[in-house]
Amino acid sequence: MRLSRAEYKEIVRWTEKLRPTRRCMKILKDKFPSHSQSTLLSIYSKRTFSRHHVPNVIESYYQRYLSEAKAQPTAPVLLELANEVDLSPALMARIILDRFLQGQDGGMPSKSVLNSMLKEPSLIPDQILASNVYQCTINDCCYGPQVDCIKHAIGHEHEVLLREKLKEKNLSFLDENHLRTMGYDKTPDVILEVPVAVEGHIVHWIESKASFGDDQSHQTYLNEQFWSYWNRFGPGLVIYWYGFIGDLDCQRDRGILLKDCFPTDIVTLCHLLALSRGSETFVSEQPK
């Protein structure tokens, strides 16, 4: 779904009012019934929480957690704190666990250690904190290890869907696995062995994104992926399966086309050649 910038801003305005609880998605869906829940969830999950990552704010959260956990060791202290300050529960768990590990070892914990403890809270040496981290991760619909696994699976499903659509159209392609065996390190999801035309634009490659395309994410993808693909393989197509802000589709003439679904009007090179030859025949048969 292509959203106008006004529509997108209205949804964002509503997401900023909502507490990060499971019920928030029902509220959003009731408010915007014409938009899919996947689109709304993708937009909601891109909220920024930078104000919570300031050192003195983190320390205040940590000290409050210690005090309340000591007074109420069985209460969901961290989950309640996250809801109170309007922060994702899983992100609150990460902040507090990170601060706890710094106090244990006297240095910054490695990302791998932090992630492993968030995935498996029983690895946390403090049982009360482990329980609080677990409560936060299972009560977050946008962030955390479980959500990351779901997002990864959904991304894979859409890559499989893309390949199936290409096979239905009898279009030959190379996927990421093929391309990596050929020595490419950074590649789109598929490269077409024979280019096609979509809405009058030549397409050599297709990238699948199981997310909503907003300004920040799209600009990041342009800088880190899409222009690199364009330099190596020529013009291509990006599919944002959960929609995008309409006016981001402004690079068509430079070789990057955006769609929110698999295109139905693909024209193959063979078809183009046939049309071209038919036109030449028609011209040659005109009376002199």
Q: List the chain domain ranges.
A: 50-141, 148-273
How far does CA 146 lie from the centroid of its chain? Answer: 15
- Across 64-84, average pLDDT: 95
In three-state secondary structure terms, 22 is: coil
- Give 104-124 pLDDT, tens digit per residue: 877 788 889 999 999 999 999
> What are the residues facing 257 on neighbouring strands?
237
Question: Which DSSP state fits 213?
Answer: B
Average confidence score pLDDT of the chain = 89
Q: What is the pTM for the complete model shown? A: 0.81
Q: Among 42, 54, 44, 43, which Cα is nearest to 19's?
A: 44
The pLDDT-based confidence of 53 (bands split at 50, 70, 90) is confident
Three-class DSSP category at 65: helix
Residue 277: pLDDT band with limits 50, 70, 90: low
Contact 171, 196 (CB under 8 A): yes
pLDDT digit string, tens, across residues 126-167: 999 999 999 999 998 888 998 889 899 999 999 999 999 999
